[in-house]
Structure 1
Amino acid sequence: MSAVSAHLVSPSGSELAALVPTSGPRGRLVLGVCGSPGAGKTSLAEHLVRALRAAGRSAAHVPMDGFHLADAELARQGLSARKGAPETFDAWGYAALLARLAERPPYPVYVPGFDRTLEQPLAAAASVGPEVEVVVTEGNYLLLDRPEWRAVRGELDEVWFVTAEEPVRTARLLARHVEFGKETDEARAWVASVDEPNARLIEASRGRADRELDLTGWRPA
């Protein structure tokens, strides 16, 4: 596994783009970005897609968050207080979508999204056309050693694990929860009772990654 310091990334993102393999063994390269809540997965994935496009490669971002179970299903299963934990995602459905994307079919593949204001998944929120060469997907549990998550890992050509120092990561999480409607005390309690136990679980999987990047001081250009 290689380690790359995020402060070495140029404003254009050319170093990041150069790390992405030129092709995968199937019809399309599918790259996973994994890490604990607040580590910077989404920012890196979005930046990487822009960098790949700037380098002349067609790329799309497909977050795992579209596979959150809806609140009604969480309530039915008694999981509302654990929203964001591994069992609150449709991991088998996510693996199936990644398999379709990897095949690069000659038609658009519609993918779900996640509305941060509603805090709900949205079906067919975007599409990935046949011209797309690289799919960048990101989520917390891509490397988890459970059957459904091993199925997800099996559809990824490479997985990068991103980290950030704990005070930086938890500050980002707190700010995010407050931004999307939680009171400060409620946000702190959620970080302590839900996000941090999940983070410990995720950190235990980092040894399975192909590459590791420290995003503590990184800001996308």
Structure 2
Amino acid sequence: MNKSSKRGLLRKPLLWLKRVLILIPCLWIAGIVIFAFLPVPFSAVMVERQVSAWLTGDFGYVAHSDWVSMDEIASPMALAVMAAEDQKFPEHWGFDVDAIQSVLDRDKEGGKMRGASTLSQQTAKNLFLWDGRNWIRKGLEAGLTVGIETVWTKRRILTVYLNIVEFGDGVFGVEQAAQHFFHKPASKLTASQAALLAAVLPNPHLFKVNAPSAYVMRRQQWILRQMSQLGGESFLREHKLN
């Protein structure tokens, strides 16, 4: 094989790689614009979970969520996830600088990447990226977070988050979680049930809503106290989140 033939063989994969590198950001931008108004049919994490299940031979697994508007979600649920995951959500522009600095200070000792993600960052990651922690994904997550914070309202970010977040194996979104664990729609969730759902969010594969550990029960009570300290319904009304 001569040199020109070798260059031709290399040129095609590089051309396809270039096209993919251009296409993916375009799809992300289109997704940010489209999902500012339309329901999200599925997320990247849902696709990842589904493909992973198929590859391991689990053909009974179904990653599914039922979209509901914020008006169809009980107010305590929105308050619970903010109390548990991101109490500065209404105020920041996608990043909690103090929390990030704290994590970086701790990571200097062990070198491991730990969480300090806001609800906006989690929404960007769940919707557009893969699971796991590394600097490449974190960098992409940061860019996507800026995009959704620029285009979407805080209420929209919270709505999308609640519709795609994972509450258990194959249980995505607050409507499916409410139906699966409590046999009621998301609009009927009580404060205690909302706090229990929020309590498993650090790791819904380790912590179980239907079999809560002592830690999960303690976290549920802590979340309920935080919900009260934030101001309850008045907190949501003040920031136009309900």
| TM-score > 0.5, shorter chain as reference | no
TM-score, normalising length: structure 1: 0.30
TM-score, normalising length: structure 2: 0.28
Name which one, 1 or 2, has greater alpha-carbon Rg. Answer: 2
Q: Which has the higher contact order (CA 8 A, sep 6+)?
A: 1
Structure 1 or 2: larger helix share? 2
Structure 1 or 2: larger strand share? 1
